[in-house]
Structure 1
Amino acid sequence: MEEKNKSIIFKSSNIINNFEFKDSNIEEVIIQSSISKIEPEAFKNAKKLKKVVIPNSVVEIGSDAFFGCENIREIIIPNSVLHIGENAFWGCKRLERVVLSSALSVIENETFCSCSSLKEIIIPEGVLKIKKGAFSLCDNLESVRLPNTLKKIAEYAFFCCTSLNDINMPLSVKQIKAHAFSSCRSLQNIKIESSLSKIEKYLFSDCPSLSSISLPGSIKKIENGAFNSCFSLKEIIIPNGVKKIGKKTFSYCNSLERVSLPSTLEVIKDKAFENCKNIKKIHIPDSVREIGEDVFSYCTSLEVATIGTNVVELKDRVFNKCDNLRDITLPKNLKNIGYRAFYECRFLQNIIIPDHVEEIGEEAFCNCKMLEKVVIPNSVNRIKKGCFKGSLNLKEVVLPSLLSAIEQEAFFGCTSLSKIVFPSSLKTIDDEAFASCYKLKEVKIPTTLEEVGNKVFNNCKMLN
């Protein structure tokens, strides 16, 4: 080994040993052809290192070999190199150009993580896997060319590559793991032509520039948060074959206007379309048997919704604060309507509650200010707390013949309600159940009533 002007030339030894130049002040390294291996951490944190010449005798670069060498600007890895260890070039902040060996089959964990000046990378043909975080936090990376041999892209592989603007996924790719492209904030277009069977958790979440994506017909599941906070996405066509849409899959996709759901879909999990403020119409096919909580919560432009025949439960807050919902068709086999299911659906005028409904949750229709008439089926035996509270335009209510209880504030503030007929089955009316029903002037109370709460008809000014 010869040292001159802070340059190091290797002449004879076979390897560069572990830690040999860790934390050193060397600026240039020219490795001659006797070297076959650069051991782990050999140049770790050699922060002044600007140039490295690697000969075609080298077959392996160890893990962390050039970790934190933040002044290297170019690295050409010869075709003799069969393996580069994980974190090998982690945090090489000024690295602008990389040429990879054509003999590589794997890009290891975080190999080029935090190489914040890297603008382009060409993954050579022959690479089968890109491992966890391999190019994560490369925030100036604009272009990535993936090889036709690639099979797997691991978790966080391109996480937070904030300048990356498009991706063409080769047919060969079989698996892309969670968060692989999340927080790629400039990503506009994705074309997936591979045989993926599912879109993994948070795969493209927080990609606010993403405006279009083409999904292959091989997809069977779209997992939790896959497209969460893709603010520019306007349309999504879920291909036939998809059976499940996971939690928060499209939540906060504020520009999403059109959603096409396939006839194979069975499950839509919690908050799947929460805060999609531009969806106007949704048709849920008959194949769907489960709709989770908050699925369409805060979809403030939603006007029309049709729910397929196999749904038996509307879970909590499913249409919560859908301000413009005017027309909804409920399935005939529906049994339960959950807590705040239609809370503050202010423009909902009419709703037909199917005959098989057994339970309507607390505040289910609270503050539905335009609701005019409700017929509650005979299968319901209890009207829960605040169920129709604040429904200012509610003029007519038909109570079920087997009703046993009306809970606290159930019809509080229904200021247009003028008449109520209680069935003979009624046993209990709780506190303030009809308080502030200003126009209520006729009430027929059955002799079977056993318990009457406080202020049941408080502030009902027209009631004698």
Structure 2
Amino acid sequence: MFDRKKTAAFIAGMLICAYAALPAANAFADEDFLVEGATETTTNSDSYTISGDFMYSLTHDGNICIEDCTSTAEDLVIPDKLDGITVTELGKTALGSDHENSTFKTVTLPATINYISADNPFIYCTQLTEIKVADDSADYCAEDGILYNKDRSEIICYPSCKKGESFTIPETVKKIGASAFYNTAPFEIKMPSSLEKVEHFAFAYTGLRTADFSGTKLEYLSDYAFSNCGSLRDVKLPDTLEHIGGGVFTSCRALEEITLPEKLETIGQYAFYDTGLSEVVIPDSVQTIGYCAFGYYLSESGNTASKNEAFTIVGTQGSAASLYAHDKDSDYDYQNNFTFLTTEEYENKQVEMQALNSTRSGDYDYAEINGETVLTFCYSSDDVITVPDTIDGKKVDAIYTSCFNATCQATEVIIPDGISEIKRRAFYMCGNLKKITAAESVKTIGDNAFDSCTALESVELPGAEKIGNGIFTGCNALKLFKAGGSLQTWDDEEPFVFCSALEEISITDGNGNFSSENGIMYNKDKSVLMVYPAAKPETEFSAPKSVKEIAQSAFIHAVNLKKVELPGTDVINAYAFEDCENLSEVKLSDTITTLGADAFYNCNSLKTLHLPDTLVNIGTCAFGFCHDDNADVENGAPSDVLTEGFKLYAPEDSEAYKYAKANGIEVISGTTEVLGKNISTGFLYTVGGIAAAFILGIIGIFTGKKLKKSKAEKAKAEKLEKAAERRKAREEKKNEDTNEEEDSLEDED
């Protein structure tokens, strides 16, 4: 993932946001950009002196440098002396720093001024129409209200409210100073052939439409020179140019093409950030390309987003261009995924495009390519568009690249039966499009097909068999996606990573390789959970026991989720639960082996986690870390910080235990989770022993009673037996006596 952290790219992104809201001087207020040969004294505000409307400090030679001005006059005259001391310098806020309430329409400089801050103190003078300089000044001059150095080799300030739609810079000028034309009116400025250098923010926030440097000697374009020139469409760079600084063309959204000169060596960070470029040819002379120089833009949500394969880099294999196309840095979580073409491949593509020979028919242009009829452009202004299945009697086979683009105003497009393919970027930047419905005949969806369709809410592709990469990049309004059971391949590890409003994914049964259940996307046999919709309303989720793996970014930004149970999962890949801000309870399986980088990053509500000793693979910031938006990364402060109050429960000497110790995470061993509570294992053993003894005691009592009962019964039986024997003996004795008595009587008779 990108757009959220890590030193260099994060700093640059933050600077862009800052520059977009504040005057240029604030943007580089902590740096001193000095004119050649000048030395600017750093002073402490405690040593400033107030004299009337001015605040000043003393220079190293005892003269005055004006540091601030509180005058509310329309015509400001800078005095040549204050308190009897000569005024020789203007600091970077000499004319105040409140650009919203500045009243100065004219500013007059005395002849004594010999240095003006390179940060351009005039940029706060937002009502300024004219600058005047004393005729006898040895260091500066003014011509038609514009400030130059004495020999006019540098233009220092063109007043922001000076009237005029065009301006020709004199042929004597070699350098355009920092913020010289900042927020000025002209939309056409002719550059002199003598020009060699353009300083920071020189043309920022102007209405320039063209910038033609082709006849100049320009070698260096400094940082943010043309930033936020929203109307800039045509830029011609000279063969002499060697360096393009950071953010030079940032937010020049009308700029759709650029030719880079063959001597160019370096391209700074964010140089062409948030422009209209969709491709760029980079010469072999380029040795260095900074973070986000090409292919990135500022999304409507204010985040940095990548155009991915929708952006094409052209160059030589092994060059800086090819490296940038797929550049990555695991430490910074930085990964480019742009289309790279060699010069030969690009030329062949151009030939193909030229060979289209499109024909206009009604609301469409169409062409014949390899025996197929493809729609190449749609002119319809209808709110609901049904794409034709035939045109001029020919069956329409495909919708070609950029057929529907930013000019399309439709909110719904219906693709009828018969069309088989939607080519790459076919609907790129359709800003009003809310719904796409395709017939079952549409089998192939090209890369970035719906890229930057920021209003898109619903997409139905019932017959899709192959879907390319990044088709929903920038689709942060998407709520529902439906596909048929014939879907075989989807060339994207994170197909819905930009879809923060997604509520449901529906894939019907079929012979494809994907499935869904309760709005969640899985592979066919549900062994891999691929996508959990970020805006799914449920707060609890228990995965089927069949799920063995959680895919990369599967649950990312799932804002409503509070509790998760993964009873059979062995592998959780990178970013799986990143930014699940309300997730507070996670129950993992006892067989988990892998936890990828940033798996639970920025889960600030998750305060405890139980990890077994089966876990052997743990990625960077896998758990217990969050992002500190206020970190002073420029001065070395880490942006990845420990989540406050987080505790890990893991067996001692397990990989999780070691990882926690190595990263300063509080870890507790020798516990077992019972009914959501952490119980000491020793205590459980003790309780278990007591319980066992108690149970044995109970068994013993019952066994003893049983034994006693058995003995008593045996004794009783023996007594009964003996009694029976005695009774028998008595009976026998009695019988014997009776017989003897009878015999005696007989004898007597």
- The alignment's TM-score, normalised by the length of structure 1, stands at 0.48
User: Larger radius of gyration, structure 1 or 2?
Assistant: 2
Q: TM-score, normalised by structure 2?
A: 0.32
Instruction: Specify which structure has the bigger relative contact order, considering alpha-carbon pairs within 8 angstroms and separated by 6 or more residues.
Output: 1
